Amino acid sequence: MISGLYVMAITAPLWATGVIKLGGWRMGYCLLSGLVLALGISGLLIMRRDRSEPPVAPVAGGPARRTALRFGSEGLGITAHD
């Protein structure tokens, strides 16, 4: 399956060249920024979760374990604690 990034990498130079020829580089810049804005907002709306759903309960019914980034004598490490 082709990802959207690859599709844009292949097709964007083609349509951007045409837009720049017709309206100049400023028009191409405006259209590119509008495309990024439109795709970004639509992606955010798709990924937004429904707030009416309750949060997911932790596994095994107990409180979730917290992790911390610590710098000790052995170097940088991640530790888990309750």
For 48-69, what is each residue's pLDDT tens digit? 765 666 666 555 655 555 666 6
CA distance 54 to 25: 49
Partner residues linked to 68 by β-bridges: 79
pTM: 0.49
DSSP letters for 23-81: H-HHHHHHHHHHHHHHHHHHHHHHHPPPTTSPPPPPGGGSPPPEEEEEEETTEEEEEEE
Residue 11 belongs to a domain: yes
Residue 29 belongs to a domain: yes
Q: What is the mean pLDDT of the chain?
A: 76
Residue 13 belongs to a domain: yes
The residue range of the domain holding 29 is 1-50
Structure tokens at 2: 């082709």
Alpha-carbon torsion, ordered 45, 46, 52, 57, to 10 deg: -130
What is the count of structural domains for the chain?
1
